[in-house]
Amino acid sequence: MLACSQPPLRCHYKTVKAIHSQNTWLGTLKNLFMVGSFVYICFALVSDKRYQRKEPLISSVHTKVKGIAEVREEIIESGAKKVVQSVFDTADYTFPLQGNSFFVMTNFLKTEGQEQGLCPEYPTRRTLCSSDRGCKKGWMDPQSKGIQTGRCIVYKGNQKTCEVSAWCPIEAVEEAPRPALLNSAENFTVLIKNNIDFPGHNYTTRNFLPGLNITCTFHKTQNPQCPIFRLGDIFRETGDHFSDVAIQGGIMGIEIYWDCNLDRWFHRCRPKYSFRRLDDKTASESSYPGYNFRYAKYYKENNVEKRTLIKVFGIRFDILVFGTGGKFDIIQLIVFVGSTLSYFGLATLFIDFLINTYSSKFCRSSIYPCCKYCEPCSVNEYYYRKKCESIVEPKPTLKYVSFVDESHIRMVDQQLLGRSLQDVKGEKVPRPSMDFTDLSRLPLSLQDPHVTPGQPEDIQLLSEEVTPRHKDSPHWCQCGNCLPSQLPESHRCLEELCCRKKMGACITTSEPFRKLVLSRRVLQFLLLYQEPLLVLDADSTNSQLRHCAYRCYATWRFGSQDLADFAILPSCCRWRIRREFPKSEGQYSGFKSPY
Ligand code: GDP
Ligand code: ZN
Ligand code: ZN
């Protein structure tokens, strides 16, 4: 798979190799996942109309408020209270506003007959004074209504306030009247005309269709398409009372949502109206609740300019138009289908997760002792082994050793040279399972030409008798056949390894060792098998046979080639092979790390 090893311009095709398992349980699980994914994708496609190209809209809004209100005002004229009744029509209670908004006055405070002059401030904590020293000439307080003259004068009775140059008399600081003066504004109606356009689809429509009955009133269920709204009904929809909001004023949002399906076969493009209170209804008295502003009506009386100041409380209605228009688009459909293909891969991901989780590690953990969970675990472990190849990062210090009296292989990371390999503990690695197909290819019959047909062959078994200790045998040897290493002191420990962990018979005395590792005929055959036209001359023969014997031993005892490359031969085997195929002159060079 090394990309750099391939010619860059050659046309080639690579594909992924899959593992096919016959397990019905896993198959059913996969199919269930597939069906689930397919149903979900179809559902999303239809319910969300993911086959459509969605475009935003642009819109214009026009409103008309209608209604008459009768207002009873209490005014004080020459010291006496008087009730005045007046009729308010559209021009009186609506004000032109910018954007998609309109305003309806619901309450007001009037200060009549103001003219430019000097007068005392309205008494509050900040404006009260006792002498001229409490006031400052030319001082302009942003909260105040005029410029101070520096004098402290009587406002009423014994109350004294600073004198200001302003519109006099100064507006009184008063609470909004309760109940609201234009409480009957809840019966006003507003007609909302809304034209929309989807520039992306070149489609225009409006909420006010020609055949519409103009005497209708909007009702959420009975008349949801009528664009004429009663103000009181709007507040009822949001759970508020018009008469409460009317006192201080407020802001109400009217949302017009267009979800248009512009496909010819399912064409539908009608608005949906909803309402939302936009101001903070929990605001307390100190945080300026409601919605109000001031405006003045100017007039001239006896050639003196005068004005009536009105603090207006009311409701601002903001109309918010939004939505999308969708139309079938083949590109969108392809993009959606493409993006959902990965969902089908979820099945493999999930099943792999199950296999990994419930393989041997999990099974053998102390929480789940291997008893009733064992069967599925062993199946999973089988799949896991087939699917995953675990590799160890190759390092010059990494070695594998195998003892004939242990069922596993040991992986040793011999960072610190200096201890003989025999004593290093290492990590247990399972021995790769034996592949008998390789063995059957070995021409075993080559070795024993004298077998008499019909007679049972006896294979000499490895006896547990301890071989008499060789006189040079070092202290770490357990089989009695090992010899001290010839390597320099610093590398010696690499060869200090016996074929056994505990005392016992040596592997070199076994039949397979003789037949697989020491047989000259087998080794010669293997060399020729590798290179059919190899010329085995006298000089190099022994050397080649010896190296081939090392490889034979490593592959026999360590199974996979990867392990064999890092496998260390026990001293007894190494010397037995060297004795069989000796080197005429010079020292043996010993193990060299392949990386
Ligand atoms: P030489 O023939 O004089 O070089 O000396 P040796 O008989 O020690 O053989 C050296 C070759 O055998 C080198 O290629 C080594 O990598 C290989 N070899 C020697 N010992 C081991 C061993 O313990 N394990 C493995 N895997 N290879 C070995
Ligand atoms: Zn030994
Ligand atoms: Zn041995």
User: Is there a contact between 227 and 212 (Cβ–Cβ < 8 Å)?
Assistant: yes
Confidence of residue 310 (pLDDT cuts 50, 70, 90): very high
| Least confident among 22-36, 69-83, 113-127 | 69-83
- Give pLDDT, residue 450: 54
Q: What share of the chain is helix, strand, coil (3-state, %, to 5)?
A: 30, 30, 40
Q: CA–CA distance from 492 to each of 422, 579, 593 (Å)?
A: 12, 19, 15
Which tops the pLDDT comparison, 362 or 567? 567
The CB of 556 under 6 Å from ligand 1? The reply is no
Per-residue pLDDT, 443: 58
Which position has the higher pLDDT, 419 or 294? 294
Nearest one of 275, 278, 272, 241 to 256, comparing CA atoms: 272
For ligand 1, whether the C-beta of 181 sits within 6 Å is no
Residue 594 Cα: closest atom of ligand 1: 16
Decide if pLDDT at 348 tops 50: yes
Cα 465 to Cα 461, 481, 504, 509, 514: the distances in Å are: 11, 13, 6, 11, 18
Is there a contact between 126 and 134 (Cβ–Cβ < 8 Å)?
no
pLDDT bracket for residue 103 (50, 70, 90):
very high
For ligand 1, mutation pick of 545, 547, 566, 593 (most atoms within 8 Å of CB): 547
Distances (CA, A) of 247 to 88, 112, 289, 291, 412: 17, 21, 10, 10, 87
CA distance 481 to 405: 16
pLDDT at 595 over 70: no
b/e per residue 35-48 (b: at least 16 CB within 10 A):
eebeeebeeeeeee
Q: Identify the top-confidence range among 36-45, 87-96, 212-221, 446-455.
A: 36-45
Q: Which backbone phi and psi does 493 adopt, to 5 degrees? A: -55, -25
Q: Which of 322-336, 403-417, 434-448 has the highest mean pLDDT?
A: 322-336
Residue 229: pLDDT band (50, 70, 90) is very high
Distance CA 250, CA 106 (A): 10
Tokens of 111: 């200060």
* Ligand 1 nearest-atom number relative to CA 565: 26
- pLDDT of the residue at 2: 41
Report the chain's mean pLDDT, rounded to a whole number.
83
Dmax (CA) for the chain in angstroms is 151
What is the tens place of the pLDDT at every residue in 59-68? 999 999 999 9
Do residues 385 and 378 make contact, with C-beta atoms less than 8 angstroms apart? no
Look at residue 325 in the predicted model and tell me its pLDDT.
93
C-beta 554 within 6 A of ligand 1: yes
The owner of tokens 């896993």 is 26
Over residues 193-205, mean pLDDT: 93
Instruction: Give me ligand 1 centre to Cα 500, in Å.
Output: 20
More confident residue, 481 or 419: 481
Atom of ligand 1 nearest to the CA of 554: 26
Is the pLDDT reported for residue 254 higher than 90? Answer: yes
Confidence grade of residue 370 (pLDDT, cut at 50, 70, 90)? very low
Verify whether ligand 1 is closer than 6 Å to residue 522 (CB atom).
Answer: no
- List the residue whose alpha carbon is closest to atom 10 of ligand 1: 590
- pLDDT band, very low/low/confident/very high, at 1 (cuts 50, 70, 90): very low
- How many A from CA of 475 to the centre of ligand 1? 23
Distance from Cα 548 to the centre of ligand 2, integer Å: 22
Please give the distance, rounded to the nearest whole angstrom, from the Cα atom of residue 407 to the centre of ligand 2.
18
Confidence at residue 6, expressed as pLDDT on a 0 to 100 scale: 53
Give residue 565 CA to ligand 3 midpoint distance, Å: 20
Task: State in Å: Cα 477 to ligand 3 middle.
Answer: 8
> Which bound ligand lies closest to the C-alpha atom of 502?
2
The closest alpha carbon to 74, from 65, 66, 84, 64, belongs to 84
Nearest CA to ligand 1 atom 27: 591
CA distance 196 to 205: 6
Instruction: For residue 469, give the ligand nearest its CA.
Output: 2
**Gap from CA of 496 to ligand 2 centroid (Å):** 9
Query: CB of 476 closer than 6 A to ligand 1?
Result: no
Q: Give 8-54 pLDDT, tens digit per residue.
A: 567 888 888 888 888 888 889 899 999 999 999 999 999 989 999 99
Which residues are in the CB-under-5-Å shell of ion ligand 2? 477, 479, 482, 498, 572
Cα 411 to middle of ligand 3, angstroms: 20
The neighbourhood of ligand 3, an ion, using CB within 5 A, equals 479, 481, 499, 506, 572
Specify the residue with its C-alpha closest to ligand 1, atom 19. Answer: 591
According to the model, what pLDDT value does residue 367 have? 47
Q: Which amino acid appears at position 124 of this protein?
A: T
pLDDT in tens, 233-248: 999 999 989 998 999 9
Is the model more confident about 540 or about 520? 520
467, pLDDT greater than 80? no
